[in-house]
Amino acid sequence: MIIILSLFLYFKNKCHTPFFKKNKYESMLDVESKQGRLWEFAIHILIWGTLLLFPLLSITSSHRNLLIEGTFFIFWVPIAFMGIMFYANYYFLIDRYFFPKRKIQFIFSNFIPVSFYLFFRYVVANEKYMQIMELAESPRRFLPLYLNIPLDILSFSIPVVFGLALRSIKKVRDTELSKKQEANTRLELELKHLKYQIQPHFFFNALNTIYGLIDLDQQKAQEAVHDLSKLMRHLLYKAENEFITLDEEIDFLNKYIALNKLRLSENTIVSTQFPDIVPNINLPPLLFISLVENSFKHGVAALEKSAIKFEIFYDYQQLTFRAINTNYAKKEIDLSGSGIGTENLSKRLDILFPNQYTYRVEKQENNYIATVTIPYKNTDEN
């Protein structure tokens, strides 16, 4: 009965698992929780199985039938009551009464099954118990009633104490899991906020580009609007994903670079060095756009020659994006941005790749170099 009760409560808890898609953090916590439940279930079966089988192993051939009957009354009946008390406390009474500090209700609720057992033991089946204890030569047969009853009550406090200890441990563990989940949820929300922050910043810079073209070259302005519509399609259908392919990211960067080149004069040379054969690498969307925007913002001067170059390269474990531009100080009247993009990038990298990335900014002679290196996993290897 105790083992059946353990099985029922285990699968009852298991069936409460929600059937909706979880994010990667929730899935990790769910695996951790399932592993904890499996260990808990295995320990319950081991303990109750040992308690139920151990008395049978100690029975000798003499008086086997009487001793099996004695095992039922002396061991299995108390164990059944102890099991009921343990699970009643573990799954209900401790949370309902003990933790909320309703101690009187907690004691009274535990005293009810003890009273049933004492009534059964000393009223209903007392004669049978005395016969069995006489046969088994139990020392308790010589004890008076006022000592036997306290001993029984004390023995029934053991499952209550065990239930309280295990429930307290589980409460601490659940609290830790809850804190982890809350922390991960905050990270997810912050990551979404940072991603959404990129889009208006991106549109602000793109519209500045188109605005600058309207008076200079209406044909180019029309091309820029067309290119911007393509970029908007990417933002609508790809940027919401947790990951996109490197090929999709390169395509987006190429379109954005082409849009910005429309407003540049011949004094500025823009070049890219992206891989011709792109491996099947996944990465978060819009990760490098802030560095591209920054290069066009600070790397262009109206009357001076300048150069901008973007590179992407990779090895077996890491992907690197590098932006190199001629370094021109930004004028105070320039309203094309306020460093939101690069600050956003740093925060996203901290969340997405904690202690796994490098973000390095260097000034070499007249060049400004920003380099981001992130780990990746080639999906072709799965």
pLDDT at 300 over 50: yes
Residue of 210, 277, 222 lying closest to 250 (CA atoms): 277
Residue in the structure block whose two tokens are 């994010």: 23
pLDDT at 19 over 70: no
**CA-to-CA distance for 23 and 137, rounded, in angstroms?**
63
Query: Model confidence at 20, in pLDDT bands (50, 70, 90)?
Result: very low
Residue of 1, 136, 3, 118 lying closest to 69 (CA atoms): 136
Half-sphere exposure of 197 (CA within 13 A, CB side): 18
Residue 90 burial (CB count, 10 A): 21
pLDDT at 382 over 60: no
Give the per-residue pLDDT at 18: 42
Domains of the chain: 2-183 (no CATH), 196-381 (3.30.565.10)
Q: Residues 351-361: pLDDT tens digits?
A: 889 899 999 99
Residue of 142, 253, 279, 262 lying closest to 210 (CA atoms): 262
Q: Residues 65-118: pLDDT tens digits?
A: 555 666 666 777 888 888 888 888 888 888 888 888 888 999 888 888 888 888
- For residue 272, the surrounding DSSP H or E stretch is strand 268-273
Residue 38 vs residue 91, higher pLDDT: 91
Residue 344 vs residue 54, higher pLDDT: 344
Contact 345, 287 (CB under 8 A): yes
Query: Model confidence at 276, in pLDDT bands (50, 70, 90)?
Result: confident
Give the per-residue pLDDT at 243: 87
Give the per-residue pLDDT at 4: 46
Most confident range, picked from 105-109, 230-234, 270-274: 270-274
Q: Span 231-254, mean pLDDT?
A: 83
CA gyration radius, the chain: 36
What residues form DSSP beta bridges with 321? 312, 372
Q: Left if phi > 0, otherwise alpha if psi is -120 to 50, otherwise beta: which for 319?
A: beta
**CA-to-CA distance for 373 and 377, rounded, in angstroms?**
13
Strands 282-283 and 244-245: antiparallel
pTM for this structure?
A: 0.55
Q: Round to the nearest angstrom and report the end-to-end CA distance of the chain.
A: 46
Q: Span 310-326, mean pLDDT?
A: 92
Q: What is the 3-state secondary structure (H, E, C) of 66-106?
A: HHHHHHHHHHHHHHHHHHHHHHHHHHHHHHHHHCCCCHHHH
